[in-house]
Structure 1
Amino acid sequence: MNFITVNEKNLDKEHICCAISDKKGEPCVSSKKDWMQARFPDGLVFQKLDVRGKVFIEYLPGENAWCPVSAENTFFINCFWVSGQYKGKGYANRLLDQCIQDAENQAKSGIAAVSSKSKKPFLSDPDYLKYKGFEVCDTSRPYFELLYYPLKKDAQKPQFRDCCRQGRIEQPGIVLYYSNQCPHTAKYVPLIAETAARRGVDFTLIQLKTKEQAQNAPVPLTTYSLFYNGEFITNEIYSEKKFIKFLDERGL
């Protein structure tokens, strides 16, 4: 099977793998594609297997990462996903090898990615990345790890910015930071906002709409980070059912 580079010329017609649906007007598709379209001038790369499945890698220069990291002269992996029937067939290796080759061709110092101490939903598998040569170069509370694949021996390693290290914010109530970098937020964020409104709970949505906002956010993962009374809860994109369970457990 062949791999495809999704770019400005073919974005409209290509399936972008992790979107819930390709139906015209589906917000998950349109929000993600709009986000991608605006990032291509920043060097966004989206490589996918030529199938309608979740087999892709997305990365861009670390200077333009939508994440509070200092990662000059690197590539930063936004999302790296191989799932279902495509696992165990070498596709992940081929996608990562292409990213590494691209980094070498552009004389990058290395490749960075946000993951976790153990496998979490919506984060790249830390065991796989470490097996492939990534190393932990920084951490952020409560469980985030900044992983790094070095390509130049003496280069400065990436770091989380101080704004996102503590895993907490000052604002009380439920606070959700999110962006359209992940297509699932366009579907599920409005659903849980409606649920919160019906329950009458203190709920604040903070959408990160620019690279500058994302790079100065108080969260390592800007696609989706949920807080309650200042404490970080999860980066998992909650369905309405899971959010109701979260509220019930706290008597909200």
Structure 2
Amino acid sequence: MSQLINLTEENICNEHICCAISDKKCAKGYELKKEWLKTQFEKGYRFQKVDVRGKVFIEYIPIEESWLPFDGQNFMVINCFWVSGQFKGQGYGKQLLEQCFKDAVAMDGVIAITGDKKRGFMSDPTFFKHMGFEIIDEAPPFFKLWGIRFNQNADYPKFKETARKGSCSNTEGITAYYSDTCPFTDYYIGQELQKYAKKTNTPIQIIKIDSKEKGHQMPIPWIISSIFYKGELITLEMKPEKHLDKLIGTSHS
């Protein structure tokens, strides 16, 4: 078993947070993520990482403090969970999840969101199924809520009704939501998406999720980043030109 490092307000200045370690474009977002983490530690937020220089980490928080739109209590919510590249297949995912279970031992269980398949910036649903989780709720267009109970008499959490819309109210051009929960979002959503919209002459509205209350009002159960076009969700990816030219290119030509 490899050593796990638990980030805290005391050591976060000297420890990396895995994503965007050396990406100069995302330097501001990297620091914004660290600042966001500092505000969440006192609320029970955990960031556990394997002691390697790479994306091998898990983040989780009690549901009562989660920014994700859930109804429920006494469950631990997995936010971001990533084992990348050369580190796959070495048992790190199981090790990180078991640490989450240990930190949630006094709770009724653990929940996590995935897509209907492996999607960018989302955990792989096959891993949760393999680890004994079951699908406990669904929301349009493809979101799945997975859960595992330690207390079999407990009620599973559910998505808030507001998060079951699957579409947003703005039907003009692009609507994008993002938060500082990921170091890539400030650059790709907060900056580059604006440039894309200007270049393509596409109307745009960008909404930053900067509080738990705003997260709970999301039309989908996701707060890292999401892009809608004419009200419909088109991608959770963050590199606009790579994805949007294909998804909406014919619409603004």
Letter in structure 2 aligned against 1:79: C
Output the CA distance in 2 between the equivalents of 1:22 and 1:48: 19
- SS of the residue aligned with 2:49? strand
Contact preservation (8 Å) 2:26, 2:183: no
Q: Is the 8 A contact 2:18 2:54 kept in 1?
A: yes
Distance 2:196 2:148 in 1: 41
Return 5+ residue gaps in structure 1 as ranges. none
- Which residue of 1 is the match for residue 12 of structure 2? 11
Change (3 A) 1:20 1:202: farther
Aligned partners of 2:108 and 2:154 also within 8 Å: yes
CA contact (8 A) 2:26 2:186 kept: no
The corresponding residue for 1:81 is 82
**1:152-171, aligned counterparts within 5 Å?**
152-171=151-170
User: Which has the larger displacement, 20-29 or 117-126?
Assistant: 20-29
Given that residues 188 and 240 in structure 1 are in contact (C-alpha distance below 8 angstroms), is that contact kept between their aligned partners in structure 2?
Answer: no
TM-score by length of 2: 0.94
Q: How far does residue 38 in structure 1 lie from its aligned partner after superposition?
A: 1.0
Q: Which amino acid in the other structure matches residue 161 of structure 2?
A: D
> Offset at 1:200?
2.0
Deviations 1:27-50 (A, max 9, x none): 131111111111111111000011
CA contact (8 A) 2:26 2:187 kept: no
Between the aligned residues of both structures, percent identity stands at 41
Unaligned 5+ segments in structure 2 are none
CA contact (8 A) 1:103 1:110 kept: yes
Cα distance in 2, alignment partners of residues 250 and 25 from structure 1: 30
Matches of 1:54 and 1:25, distance apart in 2: 15
Q: Note the C-alpha offset of 1:22.
A: 6.7
AA aligned opposite 1:50: D
| 8 Å CA contact retained: 2:136, 2:146 | yes
Tell me the number of residue pairs that the alignment of Structure 1 and Structure 2 aligns: 250
Residue by residue, what CA displacement relative to the aligned partner does 1:168-212 show, whole Å, maximum 9, x if unpaired? Answer: 122112100111101110121111111102322111000011011
- Structure 1 length-normalised TM: 0.94
What letter matches 2:209 in structure 1?
L
Amino acid at match of 2:152: K
Q: Give the aligned partner of residue 185 of structure 1.
A: 185
Indicate if the aligned counterparts of 2:33 and 2:181 stay in contact, CA closer than 8 A. yes
Shift of residue 25, structure 1, vs aligned partner: 8.6
